[in-house]
Structure 1
Amino acid sequence: MRKRIIVSDGSRTAEAEIRPYTRDDFRALIEVQAESFPPPYPPELWWNEAQLEEHVRRFPAGALCVAVDGLIAGSMTALRRTLAHGDGHIWAEATDNGYIRNHEPDGDTLYVVDLCVRPAYRSLGLGKWLIQSMHETVVHLGCRRLLSGGRMPGYHNHADRMTPEQYLEEVKLGRLRDPVVSFLIRCGRIPVGVAHGYLDDEESRGNAALMEWRNPFIV
């Protein structure tokens, strides 16, 4: 995967490239994490070089970054797993705490480990471009689907009167807007359930929306 695109937010235009990240990018990738997840997010949860080494060694096709005018502005990481419909899981179990040592070379599901973009570059639509590139990777590898657990940061505002499933349904129908789930829906992802205890996330009350994109070339 190596793709050159022109991105714009209506007031600025820039040339961007989406490609696999390499060892030379590790420092910049950790900087992206630090900018994307500032305090009080724990710094120890940012990518470390040992995790990134596993990504580029085990599954380089699932380790993508986007550079704008030569600067790494975002990244998206995935691994292959075979997961039955409705399988319960948490992020740490599904991704081996981000080390992806549980990567299955023949897994039928491309499972998203992480997606982040520097705040200063988010208006350029880089997250959507990275997701589209993972859709293309699903097709190229012959996987059945792309799957991820998406945070539901708006849920805490409704947790006293809705279950996570009810909240997700309201977002799906467009009656509520969630910063993450609504974005993923705009990227073509479909909510297929809720993973409880997915991540230690107070805003989501520990829940995540399971978001799926199915390979249209596999029935």
Structure 2
Amino acid sequence: MSLIIRNLSINDYDQLKDTMVESYSAIGGQYWRKERIQKLLHLFPEGQFCIEVDGRVVAAALAIIVNRVDCGEQHTYEQVTGHYSFDTHDPAGSILYGIDVFVHPNFRGLRLGRRLYDARKNCCRRLNLRAIVAGGRIPAYCRYAEQLSPQHYIDKVIQKEIYDPTLSFQLANGFRVTCILTNYLKGDTESKEYATLLEWKNVGYKPTRAELKHKETGVKTDRLYGPLTISPSFAAA
């Protein structure tokens, strides 16, 4: 088996679309239209990754850079992507915001998701960004929604009493839950439209001159994130 991790290209679109449709079959087989992917590649090519297995694209991770985000602030997927336009991408921002990760069902179990997360972390380090932040689905919640609140469900996943295919994976990859998002992703019936706001800190981050200046003048910068500046994945967009 030949496995290659690389940056995504627009020439990959047809295989990317097929993989998305299969990956999201449980929520209608939604996918990014070609012009959306083309724009994303134009804005931030180094932040888009895919995995090729025997010449076929079977997994991908998409991201943008945003301004400092308050981990406690409520926002939706539509807002953070600029109504799916990626106009919220800010090259001068300090946060890598993960907008999509998916693996073709026939290729799960090969640790492809972990490889994509590692590629994202390396990108975050290379660009000297403060952190990776993402809104994470909790697809197994629908099986527990009548018995557990979202908070109790997430607590049980963290304590490994319940396995959630998305959240358990993210926790195992060094992310922590900072808050619960409501009405995050329209049509996500599995998660009841709830999501976790997840964070992975880049411990090697080097503050910018402006941040150091603020520190010297007594301006507080200990809040990792300030207000989200609104300056995915779906065909309906």
Q: Shared fold by TM > 0.5? A: yes
Would you say 1:208 and 2:169 are equivalent positions? no
Aligned length: 204
| Equivalent pair of 1:197/1:206 in contact (CA under 8 Å) | yes
Distance of 1:98 and 1:75 partners within structure 2: 17
| Equivalent pair of 2:23/2:103 in contact (CA under 8 Å) | yes
TM-fit CA distance, 1:191: 1.3
Distance of 1:172 and 1:179 partners within structure 2: 12
Q: In structure 1, what is the equivalent of residue 128 of structure 2? A: 142
Q: In structure 2, what is the equivalent of residue 123 of structure 1? A: 109
Distance of 1:217 and 1:15 partners within structure 2: 32
| Equivalent pair of 1:36/1:119 in contact (CA under 8 Å) | yes
Match of 2:13 among 17, 23, 26: 26
Question: Relative CO higher for 1 or 2, CA cutoff 8 Å, sep ≥ 6?
Answer: 2
| Equivalent pair of 1:165/1:193 in contact (CA under 8 Å) | no
Distance of 1:121 and 1:152 partners within structure 2: 21
TM-fit CA distance, 1:42: 3.2
| Equivalent pair of 1:55/1:62 in contact (CA under 8 Å) | no
The SS at the match of 2:139 is: coil
Distance of 1:123 and 1:85 partners within structure 2: 31
Match of 1:42 among 7, 28, 34: 28
Q: In structure 2, what is the equivalent of residue 63 of structure 1? A: 48
**RMSD over aligned Cα atoms:** 1.5
Distance of 1:209 and 1:168 partners within structure 2: 8
Q: In structure 1, what is the equivalent of residue 72 of structure 2? A: 86
Match of 1:173 among 145, 159, 164: 159
Q: In structure 2, what is the equivalent of residue 3 of structure 1? A: none
TM-fit CA distance, 1:218: 2.7
Which structure has the larger Rg?
Answer: 2
What code does the residue aligned with 1:61 have? E
Greater mean deviation of Cα atoms: 149-158 or 112-121: 149-158
Q: In structure 1, what is the equivalent of residue 91 of structure 2? A: 105
Distance of 1:72 and 1:98 partners within structure 2: 23
Would you say 1:159 and 2:145 are equivalent positions? yes
The list of structure 1 runs, each at least 4 consecutive aligned residues, that deviate by more than 4 angstroms after superposition, is none
TM-fit CA distance, 1:99: 3.0
TM-fit CA distance, 1:158: 2.2
Query: Residue deviations 1:27-48, cap 9 Å, x none?
Result: 111111112122x6335x3111
Question: What TM-score do you get using the length of structure 1 for normalisation?
Answer: 0.88
| Equivalent pair of 1:172/1:191 in contact (CA under 8 Å) | no
Q: Percent same amino acid among aligned pairs? A: 28
Distance of 1:88 and 1:184 partners within structure 2: 20
Q: In structure 1, what is the equivalent of residue 119 of structure 2? A: 133
The SS at the match of 2:108 is: helix
Question: What TM-score do you get using the length of structure 2 for normalisation?
Answer: 0.81
Distance of 1:214 and 1:146 partners within structure 2: 7
| Equivalent pair of 2:142/2:189 in contact (CA under 8 Å) | yes
Q: For structure 1, which runs of at least 5 residues remain unmatched after alignment?
A: 1-13
The SS at the match of 1:175 is: coil
Q: For structure 2, which runs of at least 5 residues remain unmatched after alignment?
A: 207-237
